[in-house]
Amino acid sequence: MNSLAKESWSAFDSETAKLYLDGYGHPSERSKILMVSVLTELFGTREFHLADFGCGNGHLYGFFRQRGLNLRYTGYDFSTSLLEAARQKYPGDDRVLFHEADIQDPSMKGEAADIVLFSHVLEMLECPGGSLAAARCLAPRIMVRFFEPPVPRHDLVALRHMDVGPHEPKVPYLRRSFDADFYDLLLIKADCRLVDVHQVEGDKDQIHILNF
């Protein structure tokens, strides 16, 4: 997909791309640990294949491995700069692959997985429904990590600016605050039959497991 969003997310300079979400734009650590707990509950010690939609520089693969998860990992993203950083991060590791792809395309091609992950990604998409449809084609479960969990409100999509490097101009990006009713409509359209919600007390982030 050739879009302003792709241009923005590909605009990181090489050094910032390596640090993104590890030392730059650092997200909630507690919800990362909660993801590990939920994945362990689902898969135990057996090997499973996780497809990370909007994988960025692949920082979560390293985190999951450090926490002892027995996973094969395939990351999908349309950011060329973040994907380049991801491939440099894990040279020679045959348990991890990265692919440039438009995760918002319902006909996106990918490898079958046990679970698809959206980690602080669904709120950033132009077409979250198309992305859920693409994920549903690859796996029987979807994990969504929200930094803006759906609540009753008017659905809001804000245009913001982000830093992509100390010597680079700021670029625009989308950030969505989901209305709970709109989110429910997306789940109905995706044929989701059950949602399990996990949250650390006192933390805004939520982990949703969509079951089909």
Read off the pLDDT of residues 151-201 as tens digits, 9 standing for 90 and up.
Answer: 999 999 999 999 999 999 999 999 999 999 999 999 999 999 999 999 999
Residue 26 has a pLDDT of: 56
SS3 of residue 51 by DSSP: strand
Does the structure show a pLDDT above 70 at 67? yes
Does the structure show a pLDDT above 70 at 25? no
For the whole prediction, is pTM greater than 0.85? yes
Q: How many CB atoms lie within 10 A of CB 182?
A: 16
Sorted by where each begins, the domain ranges of the chain are 4-211
Residue 196 has a pLDDT of: 98
Residue 28 has a pLDDT of: 78
Cα dist from 112 to 25, 63, 107, 137, whole Å: 30, 22, 14, 8
Q: What is the mean pLDDT of residues 16-29?
A: 74
Strands 156-162 and 171-177: antiparallel
- 4-211 has which CATH code? 3.40.50.150
Structure tokens at 95: 């348990």
Structure tokens at 46: 């057996």
Residue 20 has a pLDDT of: 87
Does the structure show a pLDDT above 80 at 1? no
Residue labelled with tokens 């990992």:
73
Q: What is the mean pLDDT of residues 17-40?
A: 84
In the structure, what pLDDT confidence band is assigned to residue 19 with cuts at 50, 70 and 90? confident
Does the structure show a pLDDT above 70 at 23? no
77-135, pLDDT tens digit by residue? 999 999 999 999 999 999 999 999 999 999 999 999 999 999 999 999 999 999 999 99
Cα dist from 107 to 35, 103, 114, 199, whole Å: 27, 9, 18, 32
Structure tokens at 84: 């380049």
Nearest Cα neighbor of 71 from 35, 42, 37, 95 is 95
Asked if 8 and 172 count as a contact pair (C-beta separation under 8 A), the reply is yes
Nearest Cα neighbor of 121 from 23, 35, 195, 49 is 35
Residue 27 has a pLDDT of: 64
Three state DSSP letters for 175-203:
EEECEHHHHHHHHHHCCCCEEEEECCCCC
